[in-house]
Amino acid sequence: MPSETEMTDDPGADRESLLFLVDEALGYLSSAALRAVASAGVADALADGPLTLAELGKQVGADPRALYRVLRLLATRGIFEELGDGRFRLTERGRALRSDGPMSARAAILMLTHRTLWRPAGEMEGCLEKGASIFNDLFDMSFFEYFAQDAQVAMTFHSGMAAMSDWENAPIAAACDLPESGVVVDLGGGLGGLLLEVLLRRRSLFGVLFDQAHALAGHRLGARETDGRWEAIPGDFFTEVPPGDVYLLKRVMHDWDDDQCVTILTNCRRAMADGGRVLVLDAVIPPGNEPHQAKAVDLMLMASLTGRERTADEFARLFEAAGLRLVRVVPTGTALSIVEAVAAAT
């Protein structure tokens, strides 16, 4: 019996492995093809039924022969289907590629494959050498500085984040232990989808959406049911955060390194009311080989930002350094958990 670390001399196993690894290496072309059709609006053009390549190409402004090659690959992933009569149709699996409807993945695809995430990921060996993000080497500034200087890129990012969050906001808000009244501050809350969900569930809560000005410019608060119960405050959570009873930090901690996280959490600790709580809404990485979407997102964070996905122990250490104490980790039925902290006893 070979030991767990010992490889047998088996040409068949080598060939299997080679074929598998070559397919793995080609995987990026599916992402690229997905980006191309999302960008061109192919799914919207097919929303009313199948079209020939000539019709489709005309509608989306694409060369039909190139379009055929892109759709042919995506048909192998079950996103489109080539019909026997030369037409293509959008499948059930591909339906969220459409830009309308409450659950569209289109903006998320355009963000996740945007050059700011794609280029650093493509040069990940540089991260291995450096042990840090290579974003500055490629773009001459940090990830968030890049967005701050280009309104269009900023909106690509914020709309993409909102699209990723749309389906998860309701289950996450349902799993949060929310007070009946008081002030909830959503730090780095983006376009405000989660805060809106929270305010619709608790009719006596007041909500503060805190983010950079370019995010707040497109915020979605303002539903009639939340009239007079929210405020959007632009600011920098590394400097100061508004006072509140509960702080929400969804997909925020994972953007930053440990020292930066401790600065944000310390600012929450300082500003929060007696009995206040911090709810970090992030993936909690499972140990070992268990698959988890966050293990891929973690590499995006490594290549483009200073952040990382964390284990429960790693969150506990961050809280401790900020004068807080982890009290529980609550699953939400999404990729994210609620990691809840209160002030540590003094």
Ligand X SMILES: C[S@@+](CC[C@H](N)C(=O)[O-])C[C@H]1O[C@@H](n2cnc3c(N)ncnc32)[C@H](O)[C@@H]1O
Report how far apart, in Å, the C-alpha atoms of 288 and of each of 10, 128, 291, 294, 295 are: 27, 21, 9, 13, 11
User: Looking at 35-43, 55-63, 82-90, 247-255, which segment touches ligand X (CB under 6 A)?
Assistant: 247-255
- If one asks whether residue 304 binds ligand X (CB under 6 A), the answer comes out as no
**Among 205, 196, 281, 190, CA closest to 244:** 205
User: Looking at 201-209, 232-240, 266-274, 286-294, which segment touches ligand X (CB under 6 A)?
Assistant: 232-240
User: Looking at 29-37, 60-68, 211-219, 225-233, which segment touches ligand X (CB under 6 A)?
Assistant: 211-219
**Among 96, 254, 91, CA closest to 167:** 96
- If one asks whether residue 189 binds ligand X (CB under 6 A), the answer comes out as yes
- Output the smallest distance, CB 209 to ligand X, in A: 10
Question: Residue ranges of the alpha helices (H) in 10-133?
Answer: 11-25, 28-40, 42-45, 53-60, 64-76, 106-112, 115-122, 125-130
- If one asks whether residue 252 binds ligand X (CB under 6 A), the answer comes out as yes
- Output the smallest distance, CB 167 to ligand X, in A: 11
Spatial contact of 174 and 201, defined as CB atoms under 8 Å apart: yes
- Report the residue from 104, 113, 212, 306 that binds ligand X according to the rule CB under 6 A: 212
Greatest alpha-carbon span in the chain: 74
Closer by beta carbon to ligand X, 44 or else 255? 255
Q: Give the SS3 label for residue 177.
A: coil
Residue sitting closest to ligand X (CB): 188
- If one asks whether residue 250 binds ligand X (CB under 6 A), the answer comes out as yes
- If one asks whether residue 236 binds ligand X (CB under 6 A), the answer comes out as yes
Closer by beta carbon to ligand X, 83 or else 213? 213
- If one asks whether residue 103 binds ligand X (CB under 6 A), the answer comes out as no
Q: Is the dihedral of CA 175, 181, 187, 189 positive or negative?
A: positive
- Report the residue from 255, 282, 298, 340 that binds ligand X according to the rule CB under 6 A: 255
- Output the smallest distance, CB 22 to ligand X, in A: 33
Spatial contact of 244 and 276, defined as CB atoms under 8 Å apart: yes
- If one asks whether residue 244 binds ligand X (CB under 6 A), the answer comes out as no
Site for ligand X in 121-160 (CB under 6 A): 144
- If one asks whether residue 219 binds ligand X (CB under 6 A), the answer comes out as no
d(CA 45, CA 194): 31
- If one asks whether residue 190 binds ligand X (CB under 6 A), the answer comes out as yes
**Among 90, 96, 124, CA closest to 109:** 96
- Output the smallest distance, CB 188 to ligand X, in A: 3
Active site residue 158: no
Ramachandran bin of 147, using left for φ above 0, alpha for ψ from -120 to 50, beta for the remaining angles: alpha
Q: Which residues are catalytic?
A: 254
In the complex, the residues that contact ligand X under the rule CB under 6 A are 144, 161-162, 165, 188-190, 211-212, 215, 236-238, 250-252, 255
